[in-house]
Amino acid sequence: MAKLELHDIRKTFGEVDVLKGISLTVEDGEFAAFVGPSGCGKSTLLRLICGLDEITSGQMAIDGEIVNDVPASRRGLAMVFQSYALYPHMTVADNMGYALRLAGTPKPEIRQRVENAARILRIDPYLDRKPRQLSGGQRQRVAIGRAIVREPRIFLFDEPLSNLDAALRVDMRIEIARMKERLGTTMVYVTHDQIEAMTLADKIVVMNAGRVEQVGSPLELYNRPANRFVAGFIGSPR
């Protein structure tokens, strides 16, 4: 588990200011949902946190350590994307354990971590199957399982459920709530689905055009939106 602190994070692509000074804290063990319209900079921010791209200015700290120059592989984070690719020729267990195998983790430990993650996500009966023998929701659980086995300090999710149909999204919401409860790891969860944010998050960060409009608990945002934008965004489920 780890605390994440962002101080005046800016990101410019060429002439375009995509992030215009993001400052906020995600506490140890907190589930923070980042919401905002398409193009407001959510994925860019996640990529910066993850270390997949460099910040233009500002400071980022994990557990008090400035990580601006720490490479992605040493930040101890794991990201789950909207579109995930599983290796079709590998079993579910091998897919989940692959990163650990590359890192040289001993086989019995890989097996144990894979089994634990599979139990949390309730895919333990499918460990010996191939991805094509799974449903879409089960495959997405494998993708989340790959992140769990790495025992990251922080989980980063980029709209992990947006490719699933409505009924599956509800199931997966329950799965993610279970994961939050069981692991208690800090989670940064990007979504454009207000319901997901309202039901899962301890804290919601509302973004708009590269800035933070408001940070608060779901109830605070619902009851006391800072402005019309937040009111419109939180108050009107799609």
83 binds ligand ADP (CB under 6 A): no
Minimum separation from the CB atom of position 146 to Mg ion (A): 20
Tokens coding 108:
């019995």
> CA 39, CA 6: separation in Å to the nearest integer?
20
Say which residue the tokens 């592989």 belong to: 73
Which of residues 126 and 233 has its CB atom nearest to ligand ADP in the complex? 233
Minimum separation from the CB atom of position 207 to ligand ADP (A): 7
> CA 105, CA 101: separation in Å to the nearest integer?
6
Stretch of 4-12, 35-43, 52-60, 91-99 lying at the interface with Mg ion (CB under 5 A): 35-43
Tokens coding 146:
């790959």
Binding mask 23-62 for ligand ADP (x = CB under 6 A): -------------x-xxxxxxx------------------
Minimum separation from the CB atom of position 229 to Mg ion (A): 18
Q: Which does 19 bind (CB under 5 to 8 A by kind): Mg ion, ligand ADP, none?
A: none
- How big is the site for Mg ion, counted in residues (CB under 5 A)? 1
Yes or no: say if 198 and 234 are a contact pair by the CB < 8 Å rule.
yes
Which of residues 16 and 167 has its CB atom nearest to ligand ADP in the complex? 16
Among 18, 40, 43, 201, binds Mg ion (CB under 5 A): 43
The whole-angstrom distance between residue 57's C-alpha and the CA centroid of its chain comes to 23
> CA 202, CA 198: separation in Å to the nearest integer?
9
Minimum separation from the CB atom of position 28 to ligand ADP (A): 25
Name the residue with the smallest CB distance to Mg ion. 43
Tokens coding 165:
């149909």
Burial of 123-153, coded b for 16+ CB within 10 Å and e otherwise, reads: beebbeebbeebeebbbbbbbbbbbbbbebb
Which residues of this protein are in contact with Mg ion, per CB under 5 A? 43
